[in-house]
Amino acid sequence: MKFVEISGRTVDEAVGLALQSMGASIDEVEVEVLEKPSKGLLGLFGVKPARVKVTLKEELSKKAVNLLKSIFKSMDLQVDIDAQEKDEIIYINLKGPELGILIGRRGETLDALQFLVNLSVNKKQEVRRKIIIDVEGYRSRREETLQKLAIKLANKAKQRGKSIVLEPMSSQERRIIHTALQGRNDIYTFSEGDEPYRKIIISPKK
């Protein structure tokens, strides 16, 4: 990863010199202040300049896209890949015919693909980026389904006065259930068991 260490009278000046030497903008780099400037005796003697380390961000989104392309090529799949970065997260949406194979049962294959890409792309990176992979809006539809399921089962648990145990889910899907019901004062939720068989339990408050 390309970086420079450079000094200046102020931090801003040092960063500016680094950007100029790298031919980069401030949005394309990570800045680490190694030493702040300090004044010497009476502000005249022993003045120490600012020293910074400026590192060029590697375009992790391109790295993720290239990895996915190689995977899909080996699978003989025609997939359109759209990658966008927002709030330090890389969102990748996949489009194409017959991509159900990439989703799998309740999104298990998609979660595994996402885990693999995150692990590979962020390896040996000083600055890590979370990568979320979706197939034509599957995750938002699944989230809506789980939210409705959570409300339905919470009402059933309250009506029956008994706990309801859900099927094993990924940590991401369990979080959706917990979040959907966290505002309820008549029931509570908790998780039980070990991965990958960890389940959510919805219980009525007594």
User: pLDDT tens-digit profile of 18-77?
Assistant: 888 888 788 777 888 888 888 765 555 557 888 889 887 767 888 899 999 999 999 999
Q: Is the pLDDT of residue 179 over 90?
A: yes
**Nearest one of 168, 163, 172 to 192, comparing CA atoms:** 168
Sign of CA dihedral 55, 57, 58, 60: positive
Domain boundary at 41, 56, 71, which? Answer: 56
Into how many domains does the chain fold? 3
Question: 117 and 145 share a domain?
Answer: no
Average pLDDT of the chain is 88
Q: Which residue has the tokens 């068989």?
A: 197
Question: 124 and 158 share a domain?
Answer: no
Half-sphere exposure for 58 (CA within 13 Å, toward CB): 14
Question: 47 and 69 share a domain?
Answer: no
**What is the amino acid identity at position 160?**
R
User: For position 82, what pLDDT does the model report?
Assistant: 92
Domain boundary at 93, 121, 136, which? Answer: 136
pTM of the shown model: 0.64
Reading the block at residue 33, the tokens are 């202040």
Domain boundary at 112, 136, 160, which? Answer: 136
Say if residues 1 and 55 touch (Cβ distance below 8 Å): yes
| Domain encompassing residue 40 | 3-56
Which SS3 state, helix, strand or coil, does residue 171 take?
helix
Question: 67 and 20 share a domain?
Answer: no
Strand partners, 93: 82, 134
Within the chain, how many helices (H) and strands (E) appear?
Answer: 6, 9
Which SS3 state, helix, strand or coil, does residue 110 take?
helix
Question: 147 and 189 share a domain?
Answer: yes
Q: Cis peptide leading into 37, omega within 30 of 0?
A: no
